[in-house]
Structure 1
Amino acid sequence: MDINEAISRVLSAERSAAHLTIKELSVQADIPERTLIRVLKGERDINVLQIAKLAPVFGLYPHEIMDSAEKLIERADRGTVPDLSTTDIDSPINPADEANAALASADNGVDIDAWADRIRVEDAVNEEKE
């Protein structure tokens, strides 16, 4: 996923959340409707001025749109993560055991960063219980 595709996804989601038609968004942002359609479909590169015009319509700063787009790219690049819903969060976890299991499974496509995140989340949950 490139930055333009990610920005178009963010803008489309924001437009949907704001319950705006493309025509309404076009008028409010002062961007020609045809240009906006092409941007939202990812058919046209978006420029900084257009982001600056669109952001206030959604109650955002331009950098927030970029930050959201970058997070989408990171998520797409990360790939799949283990299904943590099958884990019993009440059982204590030994981080060393988890890390060793993740390292042993590294050749099987297990995302070690995801395992580390899981350990941090479970540590935080256990701290809250105490």
Structure 2
Amino acid sequence: MGEKDKKITIGALAGEAGVGVETVRYYQRRGLLREPQRAHGRIRHYGPNDVERLSFIRSAKELGFSLDEIAELLQLDDGTDCDEAQSLAEHKLADVRQKITALKRIERVLSKLVRECRQQEGNIHCPLIVSLRERSAG
């Protein structure tokens, strides 16, 4: 039996793709990954295409795509709708850039508060705690 005909169990599939078995089952429930029929002995067997698809899902998740967005990408996988795939990527890039901007703002505020905490001497209120209280009240 060649590599192309190789059949593996769900555990081996998960291992090859670097995810857990429950993740594979979850993706199946979400319709992202097929659930093969049970063969003799009631064990499901997966092939190389399943490994490729699961690896694709994992790669897309690592780039920040949601499972709904990944479902759209999987539908565009034949290469004929590159414009739609590009549009999805552009939206994701815009989201990432917004998050980076927000994280930089958070970094500036926390950095300032940490400096203020380090400069405090004696038994006075912690600038970080005071700032958090003021933010929650306002």
Q: Greater CA radius of gyration, 1 or 2?
A: 2
Higher relative contact order, structure no. (Cα contacts within 8 Å, ≥ 6 residues apart):
1
User: TM over 0.5, yes or no?
Assistant: no
Structure number with higher helix proportion: 1
TM interval, short-chain normalised: under 0.3
Give the alignment's TM-score, normalised by structure 1.
0.27
